[in-house]
Amino acid sequence: MFDFLKKKIKELTRKDEPENQPTPTKTKEIIEPKEPAKLEEPIKPEEPIIRKQPKELSKPHPLPEPTQKEKPSPPKPKKKTTQPKPKSITQQLTSVFKGKDLEETLWELELALLEADVAKPVAEEICEKVRKTGGRNIETTLKNAIKDILSVQTYSITERAKQSKKPFKIMFLGPNGAGKTLTLAKIATLLQKNGLSCIFAAGDTFRAASIEQLEEHANKLGVRVVKQAYGADPAAVAFDAVKSAEANDIDCVLIDTAGRQDNNQNLMEELKKINRVVQPDLRIYVDEALSGNVLPERALKFKEAVGVDGVILTKMDTDVKGGGAISIAHMIKTPILFFGVGQDYDNLEPFNADVVLANIFD
């Protein structure tokens, strides 16, 4: 992950390399066309002319002399190209700022961040923090700027569940195809490992086979599912699951919901109803990291509609850009809790800002 951002910053630094390397190649090009000309001069058909002026036969011999005069210049620039390469990207960035105008470099840096799916307001904020330093201490400034953006105070789901009144209610929401149902099963696995019992609410009564998909995960994890027929009121399903948890002394209720786009007003109103009826303790927004620049904007719409208490980004193992992860926490002021990095129930990595920085700069 973050390979694209790392690559773009490297490309940005290469533009500032010294421009004295082309000189040796130019001298070679001048020498090479002259050598074939020597071979063409001693042509046999012109022998009668040569006999009249025999003294001129010796003229081809001194021709190698210009090549000897031109040869000394190439070796000197070749030695200059053997400079040690910086070990880290931040060291390379420092060399960029030394070699060109600050504003020009900040413009190229902003473009690199945008191409890496960093949201424009976030990219501008990073560049502004670097601008205030005047191009000094680039390594420290750039790292601190990104770390400040990522450092939204986080928390432990399991600790919150243990400290809260039973049942602890978690509602999962997000767009279609983001991986909400699998993520719900991963969180259930985490809760079970910490000694907490779970029950599932099949609140996605809209998508075909969604209930069967949730039941398959539940059977593997030994969890009961509260469900109704397709087309039923999802708020009623969630309410029944909470009542069942209360009756059976179950610690946590995990509520699945239908995937919806933020511009689908009917489904968003349905989500608001679930939120109003159940009053979940946590509303976790699940989206795929591959969504790019749309990611923070879409999450913000869900937060405005029902509220978002935490974010889980799926498919991080396939996202080479990673800019969405840098942007979403800053734009919606909500912590990223986990990265989904695979299909197994244990493929859930706790979010760590230092790990993100290491992936970008080391």
User: For position 23, what pLDDT does the model report?
Assistant: 42
Q: What is the mean pLDDT of residues 270-297?
A: 91
Token pair for 304: 């405005």
Which tens digit of pLDDT belongs to each residue from 296-309?
888 999 999 999 99
User: For position 228, what pLDDT does the model report?
Assistant: 94
Write 296-300 long-range contacts (CB < 8 A, 24+): 296/119, 296/324, 296/327, 296/328, 296/330, 296/331, 296/332, 297/119, 297/331, 298/175, 298/261, 298/262, 299/328, 299/331, 299/332, 299/334, 300/331, 300/332
| CA distance linking residue 293 with residue 122, whole number of Å | 11
Q: Who wins on pLDDT, 178 or 223?
A: 223
Query: Residue 140 CB: number of other CB atoms within 10 A?
Result: 11
pTM to 2 decimals? 0.73
Range from 129-133, 253-257, 350-354 that averages highest in pLDDT: 253-257
User: With contact defined as beta carbons under 8 Å apart, do 181 and 213 qualify?
Assistant: yes
Which tens digit of pLDDT belongs to each residue from 15-74?
444 444 444 444 444 444 444 444 444 445 444 444 444 444 444 555 555 444 444 555
| CA distance linking residue 91 with residue 352, whole number of Å | 23
Average model confidence (pLDDT) across the chain: 78
